[in-house]
Amino acid sequence: MTTCAALAATLLAAMGAHAERAAVLELQAPGLLPGAQHDLDAAVRESMAGLGYQVQPLEQTRAAIEDAMSAGLQCVFAKDECALKVGLVAEVQVVVTTSVETIDDKMVLRGLFLQTEGKKQERRRAAAAIVLPSSDGGASVRAFVERLVTGRGAPTPLPVRVVVEPVDAAVKLDGKPTTTGVRWLAPGDHVLDAAAAGYTPGTLTFHVERDLVTDPVTLRLEAEPAKTLTWVGWTAAGVGSLMMVGGGLGAGVTELMLRTGSVAHDNRDAVVTLGLVGLGTAAAGLVVVGAGVAVALADG
């Protein structure tokens, strides 16, 4: 048994000698209790080791970063180019950075996986809702690290902040009524619809591949154009109607006067002219009514 154990240890050592070295930068967790931060950081490191990486001791990584900073390195470690520089200084093939944030009483773990050597130099980002290792034995962290490193594994719903203007608009997400604010959505394509009185309904298709809390999904509805032509059209129709009524009455009165002989012979031509004017006014009113109605219907 001793010989077998020694042989196994030798094989493991040989395998480890060829495993990629990884620098796992210290987990960033503002607002999280130090004990919880330590547990999550340790779980990330254990998960990397479980995938076959030689995880550089944190003290050694810190020393490399301090040396680089003393030499003038100033950057945000979560950004790709900065992580690459850290990896080169630490003399590792892989760099992993992680951070955690509490959103809606849930913890969201974000990470960057970066290869510093090789032709592909893979870069991958991932985010997932997790729980503390004390709650699930580190299963959610292991699943996250595996997906971050390999790109495989089932993703978890991610927080997406939804903003719609105007704020009183009726909102639908993937065809179902919802409200604005933070929504937890599965990675992939989603459709946001909104409608409000006085506004043109809007639709927005968006893709979720990371959490979108600080970079919200925003749909702004456009106000409907004022119905100016509608008002003008109906006003014209009203004026035309008055012209029709007035002209018709005038023509009718003159016709009655001529039929009853109540017009003096000397005034007959003037009355006939007045009647013709009434008929013309009524006809013009009919045209105005038709045009006004047409304009109003076309605008609204």
pLDDT in tens, 214-224: 789 999 999 98
Contact 167, 196 (CB under 8 A): no
* Band of pLDDT at residue 44, cut at 50, 70 and 90: very high
Q: Closest by alpha carbon to 271, among 259, 286, 289, 283? A: 259
Provide the residue type at 196 as one letter.
A
- Give the residue with greater pLDDT, 230 vs 126: 126
> CA 225, CA 282: separation in Å to the nearest integer?
34
* Band of pLDDT at residue 291, cut at 50, 70 and 90: low
Q: Closest by alpha carbon to 158, among 82, 238, 213, 88? A: 213
Q: Which pairs with CB-CB distance under 8 Å and at least 24 residues apart come from 163-166?
A: 163/216, 163/217, 163/218, 163/219, 164/192, 164/194, 164/218, 164/219, 164/220, 164/221, 165/218, 165/219, 165/220, 165/221, 166/196, 166/199, 166/221
Overall size of the chain counted in residues: 300
Domain boundaries, the chain: 2-150, 158-223, 228-299
Q: Closest by alpha carbon to 54, among 99, 5, 13, 101? A: 13
Look at domain 158-223 and name its CATH class. Answer: mainly beta
State the average pLDDT over residues 99-121: 86
Name the most confidently modeled range: 103-107, 167-171, 207-211. Answer: 167-171
- Give the residue with greater pLDDT, 261 vs 110: 110
Whether 8 shows a pLDDT value over 50: the answer reads no
- The token pair at 117 is 């050597």
- Give the residue with greater pLDDT, 4 vs 178: 178
Q: Would you state the pLDDT for residue 193?
A: 97
State the average pLDDT over residues 210-234: 73
Q: Would you state the pLDDT for residue 15?
A: 45
What is the Cα Rg of the chain in Å? 39
* Band of pLDDT at residue 243, cut at 50, 70 and 90: low
Q: Would you state the pLDDT for residue 156?
A: 86
* Band of pLDDT at residue 260, cut at 50, 70 and 90: low
Whether 282 shows a pLDDT value over 70: the answer reads no
> CA 178, CA 195: separation in Å to the nearest integer?
12
Work out the number of other CB atoms within 10 angstroms of the CB of residue 22. 26
- pLDDT tens digits along 122-169: 888 888 999 999 999 999 999 999 999 998 888 888 889 999 999 999
State the average pLDDT over residues 215-243: 69
Q: Closest by alpha carbon to 86, among 119, 120, 61? A: 61
- Give the residue with greater pLDDT, 94 vs 73: 94
Whether 225 shows a pLDDT value over 80: the answer reads no
Percentage, residues of the chain above pLDDT 90: 40
State the average pLDDT over residues 16-23: 73
Percentage, residues of the chain above pLDDT 70: 65
**Helix (H) / strand (E) containing 258:** helix 228-260
DSSP assigned state of 152? -
Q: What is the mean pLDDT of the chain?
A: 78
CATH of domain 2-150: 3.40.50
State the average pLDDT over residues 201-224: 88
